Amino acid sequence: YGKNTIKFLRLHREGKKHFVKEVEVCTHLRLTSAQEYLEGNNSLVIPTDTIKNIVLVLAKKNGIPTLEQFAIDICKHFMTTFCQVAYVKTYVQEVPWQRLHENGVPHVHSFICVPDGIRFCEAEQCRNGPLVVFAGIKDLKLMKTTQSGFEGFYKNEYTTLPERHDRILCGELFCKWSYGECKDFDFDCIWYTNKIRECILEAFAGPPDCGEYSPSYQKTVNSIQMLVLSKVSQVQVIEVILNNTFYNVVDMKNLGLTNDKEVLVPVEAPYGSCACTLGRKKFLEA
Amino acid sequence: YGKNTIKFLRLHREGKKHFVKEVEVCTHLRLTSAQEYLEGNNSLVIPTDTIKNIVLVLAKKNGIPTLEQFAIDICKHFMTTFCQVAYVKTYVQEVPWQRLHENGVPHVHSFICVPDGIRFCEAEQCRNGPLVVFAGIKDLKLMKTTQSGFEGFYKNEYTTLPERHDRILCGELFCKWSYGECKDFDFDCIWYTNKIRECILEAFAGPPDCGEYSPSYQKTVNSIQMLVLSKVSQVQVIEVILNNTFYNVVDMKNLGLTNDKEVLVPVEAPYGSCACTLGRKKFLEA
Amino acid sequence: YGKNTIKFLRLHREGKKHFVKEVEVCTHLRLTSAQEYLEGNNSLVIPTDTIKNIVLVLAKKNGIPTLEQFAIDICKHFMTTFCQVAYVKTYVQEVPWQRLHENGVPHVHSFICVPDGIRFCEAEQCRNGPLVVFAGIKDLKLMKTTQSGFEGFYKNEYTTLPERHDRILCGELFCKWSYGECKDFDFDCIWYTNKIRECILEAFAGPPDCGEYSPSYQKTVNSIQMLVLSKVSQVQVIEVILNNTFYNVVDMKNLGLTNDKEVLVPVEAPYGSCACTLGRKKFLEA
Amino acid sequence: YGKNTIKFLRLHREGKKHFVKEVEVCTHLRLTSAQEYLEGNNSLVIPTDTIKNIVLVLAKKNGIPTLEQFAIDICKHFMTTFCQVAYVKTYVQEVPWQRLHENGVPHVHSFICVPDGIRFCEAEQCRNGPLVVFAGIKDLKLMKTTQSGFEGFYKNEYTTLPERHDRILCGELFCKWSYGECKDFDFDCIWYTNKIRECILEAFAGPPDCGEYSPSYQKTVNSIQMLVLSKVSQVQVIEVILNNTFYNVVDMKNLGLTNDKEVLVPVEAPYGSCACTLGRKKFLEA
């Protein structure tokens, strides 16, 4: 049980300059007891209202140095404060506020919401187990208008899809990686120095002057994983899900026109999905 | 990988009387190969477009006798047709069309959408493993305006929640149960004869003339599970998630009024969540 | 300016039997002044927080006898209390809670949310003008699987749609009617006695044993309007919008099958829309 | 009647460099006839399927030079081709694809979706009337963490809101302006040269080093309108709606802490709304 979507804004001021971190937190607990389910005995139950208060107080006291550190702080607090907690998991996602700029000058206290991918993280711990930290980015919508195809696939009597060597590749990416057992990482430093987001975009798009041919969603997913694992040594395992939207070339023959992939219609349902989890030395697909 | 939200309507006619089943199907596969990820070799990949075709063809050929049987048919088809499939999972959910009635007379071909809980099911199979079937109901929004409280809970310096013995209990239920290894069940017969939905409502609400006191969300979740397990012998394990919305009594003292729980405001975020999985003989909470 | 989505629950008790009315209210005002926009002088501005308080206090004091009466009460309150209000409009929509029944017995305090059409109303008034009341129903999803076609339409070189005399008609209805200048109506009595909702369903579906042929969405919209106007004398004008979802018969020729309108796929975007406003004696289409 | 959410992608290639314009179009017509409503006579009805075809063909033939020009082309086509059309309105909104950059180098064919405000436009014409063009931006979420207050407002017995001279101002902006009767404007030139979006952001935020005090949402709305009207001579009238989210400072006294506006919780419902339409020489508020 737990509390979901605890939303709040943490405002930090340095003189006239303001820094905002608006987050949405979900914290779930499993207790060592079962009596609250079986007997309605609540004596060990920490109310979800108290969970919310603890999250807000930790934000007030520690601030949100990084999303990951904040999730770790919450997990540690529950494990050390309450001996009836058998397991704790905390998920934190960020509202993508960006500082406004006017003619290149950053504004001291004004922000705009730019949802081109949402950063999130997760920390979890079982009593007597390690504290494990995950981070990720979701809702990242990307498109390439060429250098994508799908050929040589398995065919039988149910196959109607034609082979294509030049199609649009468009999808929404979900990437989540594990930093393994929690260490004294500076998570924002890993994020910014290693440019994980840039890695993902680069693996998706290929070189800016010509791109790189994608023979399938599967291969693109794998390319993203390989690049992140090779560039960011702290990442242990990376899961990528690519939900793709097909674009159908509109047949205009009946309308007396030849449509050379100029007008395409997105097909939003059904949509394909391709997920893979890749770790160091071992390979798992799902 | 797989195809999500394959939406279609299966229309069945018996003379002038029409029967509709509109569903949304998600089918996911795991292949025995990895070469499509590593090398971009698609020779074993069944396109998601073919997955969609197979789902539609099975609906055309077999109809949708029950949601569960349809999910089983799909899984069996993939396992027997494609030796490269290591695992298959199919999820089916129903659009809640109900036959229209005029002055109590059922209409032969007109329907209304009544989304008071959505039926769904899931079937999954690993190669050489059993075919396991799940069913459930989700998006079921219930409320009781008394006979609910929360007292005697754990308190510390972060506790601000007062004890309450008369509050509103309102939430959205998700229930999913396992029928275990697939047998020749008549799933609609189990659903309708055992009145699973009625069980859930009854366990939530208590007797119609007085209700039954709920000392916590946890106990209500457990009551639902116990009643379903006791009434429906085919159910092996049942998971229930109750996402609850608190209703705050509006403080009207500053407005010169005494509000005796007459005007309440829903708090939609954050919301509490309580999940539990209960099986026969063994007890697991999550 | 105003306050939107003021959500609250009004609970009324008669002994052990509870009655709930959960609503969402939007109240908008126009003031006689412009100084708050031009000069930042707020001296005549009624804060939206005060608007919210007034709505809650009126709910506490008067209850919600009917949605319409509640909207009227709010408008009257603003017009009589604040001389700086030039115009007031209040919209009220209902959360569709229905009393639970167990084996036909109504439960004293348990409810289920059944969103098969949402009732709403609107009241508005200009200073020195009449108070006008509207009511309606929205999000009403209906389908008929035959007795619908579309033939004899205008054709030119851009026409690719075939004529069809047996198609599925499926759509979401929005109906809004005016009761004209506010009188001492018992609005729930009009609603229930005249069975407005049943009128709409009946006009859509036709007789239960055979239905009634619809030659177009336009004609169906008109039939609904004509029936409501003929059955409910208090309705002055009625607007109906029908947003329709096409169902395409899946072509299975390539898959070696003949699909006799048994498997159909909904096309959710783009969707057609047909709106018409019909009054007594005068006819307006939009 | 008409067709909504006609979604398509228009791809334009110049050598290896690709340009994408993905849009969503809604086109509505009113005919001179009423016989389709009254008699089910469809002989003058242009099917919504034909409307869709026309929109796609125009995109194929003319491309989408600007959103506004495309909306104008569609309106003109319907007015000149079909004498039974009494009125036509076309709405076009853009999917916010932006070209990807790698280390500052623009990619030839890869794009990312960045929804920090959505551009849209509208064109409408009555037979024998002028073609009028509107443009706008919506879903623009902005926040300033200081330089905002609300004081000196009207008070009575329902007032519980305290005066505040330092609050967070956060909201979603909808701006729509009229270019008046259609002329040979280069609409993208007006958009980019006059930096309308930048105007809006600047009027909202004030100077980057100190901001500008906002005494109310109303005044901020007016500032945006005044700046756009003064900077962009082609704009005749501008409507601005600001839907605001309040942020409540969490009271932590019971938790033994002083919260100096460091932790704030957003209140998403109810939300305030402030709308105003400002033209040259005349002033209208709504």
Which of A14-28, B267-281, D178-192 is most confident? A14-28
Q: pLDDT at position D286, please?
A: 39
Long-range contacts of D250-253 (CB under 8 A, 24+ apart): D250/A8, D250/A56, D250/A60, D252/A56, D252/A57, D252/A60
**pLDDT at C221 exceeding the cut of 60:** yes
Q: Write down the pLDDT at residue C283.
A: 43
A205 vs D60: CB contact, 8 Å cut-off? Answer: no
* Candidate from A114, A205, A252 with C-beta closest to D110: A205
Asked whether the CA dihedral D89, D95, D96, D98 is positive or negative, the reply is: negative
pLDDT band at A285 (very low <50, low <70, confident <90, very high): very low
- Minimum distance, in Å, between the CA of residue B6 and any CA atom of chain D: 20
pLDDT 10s digits, B52-77: 999 999 999 999 999 999 999 999 99
CATH code for A141-173+194-285? 3.10.270.10
* pLDDT tens-digit readout, D50-87: 999 999 999 999 999 999 999 999 999 999 999 999 99
Looking at residue C164, what DSSP letter applies?
A: B
Q: Is the predicted pLDDT of residue A50 greater than 70, yes or no?
A: yes
Q: CB count, 10 Å around CB of C36?
A: 26
Are the CB atoms for A121 and A136 separated by under 8 Å?
yes
Q: Do D9 and A264 touch (CB under 8 A)?
A: yes
Same fold yes or no, A1-129 and A141-173+194-285: yes
**B186 vs A21, higher pLDDT:** A21
pLDDT of residue B286: 39
What are the residue boundaries of the structural domains of chain D, listed by start? 1-129, 141-173+194-285
| Res B280: pLDDT | 83
pLDDT at residue D194, rounded to an integer: 77
Confidence tier at C181 by pLDDT (50, 70, 90): confident
How many CB pairs lie under 8 A apart between chains A and D?
A: 199
Which of C25, C107, C227 is best to mutate for the B interface (most B CBs within 10 A)? C107
User: Does the distance separating the beta carbons of B56 and C22 come in below 8 Å?
Assistant: no
d(CA D6, CA D52): 7
Phi, psi of C152, deg, nearest 5 = 70, 25
Query: What pLDDT does A281 receive?
Result: 63
Residue A208 vs residue B181, higher pLDDT: A208
Give the pLDDT confidence of A223-241 residue by residue, as tens digits. Answer: 999 999 999 999 999 999 9
Residues of chain B contacting residue A47, judged by C-beta atoms under 8 Å apart: 150, 153-154, 159, 161
B14 class by beta-carbon count within 10 Å (0-12 exposed, 13-18 middle, 19+ buried): exposed
Gap between the Cα atoms of C58 and B241, Å rounded: 36
D244-265 pLDDT, tens digit each: 999 999 999 999 999 999 999 9
Give pLDDT tens digits for A180-227: 887 778 898 888 887 899 999 999 999 999 999 999 999 999 999 999
Q: Pairing mode, if any, of strands D85-94 and D118-126? A: antiparallel
DSSP label at residue B210: T
Comparison of pLDDT for B164 and B281, the residue scoring more: B164
Q: What was the pLDDT predicted at B285?
A: 41
A286 has a pLDDT exceeding 60: no
Q: How would residue D105 be classed by pLDDT, with cut points 50, 70 and 90?
A: very high
Q: What is the pLDDT of residues C37-74, one digit of tens each?
A: 999 999 999 999 999 999 999 999 999 999 999 999 99
How far is Cα C248 from Cα D250, in angstroms, rounded to an integer? 53
CA distance A176 to A169: 21
- Tell me which architecture the domain covering D1-129 has in CATH: Roll (3.10)
Mean pLDDT over D256-277 rounds to 94
Under DSSP, the state recorded for C268 is E
**Chain D interface disruption, residue of C7, C158, C273, most D CBs within 10 A:** C158
Residue B108: CA count within 13 A, CB half-sphere: 14
Comparing CB atoms, the residue among C53, C154, C273 nearest residue D45 is C154
Instruction: Find out whether B204 and B142 touch, Cβ atoms under 8 Å.
Output: yes
Torsion B38-B42-B43-B44 (CA) sign: positive
pLDDT-based confidence at D178, cuts 50/70/90? very high
pLDDT of D281 reads 63
- Helix ranges (H only) for B44-176 are 48-62, 67-81
Q: What is the pLDDT of residue D285?
A: 42
The Cβ-side half-sphere exposure at A9, using a 13 Å CA radius, reads 28
User: Chain A closest CA to C171's CA: distance in Å?
Assistant: 18
Which comes out higher in pLDDT, residue A284 or C249? Answer: C249
CB contact at 8 A, B22 and B9: yes
| Residue pLDDT, tens place only, B33-42 | 999 999 999 9
Q: Which of D248, D254, D263 to mutate to test the interface with B (most CBs of B within 10 A)?
A: D254
For chain C, the maximum distance between any two Cα atoms, rounded to a whole number of angstroms, is: 76
d(Cα B89, Cα B82) in Å, to the nearest integer? 14
Structural element, H or E, at residue C204: helix C196-205
Taking CA atoms, A4 is separated from A25, B267, B268, D100, in Å, by 6, 12, 10, 34
Query: Which positions in chain A touch B243 (Cβ < 8 Å)?
Result: 4
Beta bridge partners of C144: B110, C169
**B195, B241 contact by CB (below 8 A):** no
Identify which of C200, C198, C209, C212 has the alpha carbon closest to the alpha carbon of residue C148.
C212
Contacts of A256 in chain C (CB under 8 A): 157
Decide if B107 and C208 are in contact by the 8 Å CB cutoff.
yes
pLDDT band at B194 (very low <50, low <70, confident <90, very high): confident
Kindly report, residue by residue over C118-157, the tens digit of the pLDDT. 999 999 999 999 999 999 999 999 999 999 999 999 999 9
Identity (one letter) of the amino acid at A122? E
pLDDT of residue C282 exceeding 50, the answer is no
Instruction: Give me the mean pLDDT over the C109-121 stretch.
Output: 97
CB count in 10 Å sphere of residue D12: 13
pLDDT confidence of residue C116: 96
Q: pLDDT tens, D115-156?
A: 999 999 999 999 999 999 999 999 999 999 999 999 999 999
Contacts of B158 in chain D (CB under 8 A): 255
| pLDDT tens figures, A67-115 | 999 999 999 999 999 999 999 999 999 999 999 999 999 999 999 999 9
CB B5 within 8 A of CB B32: no
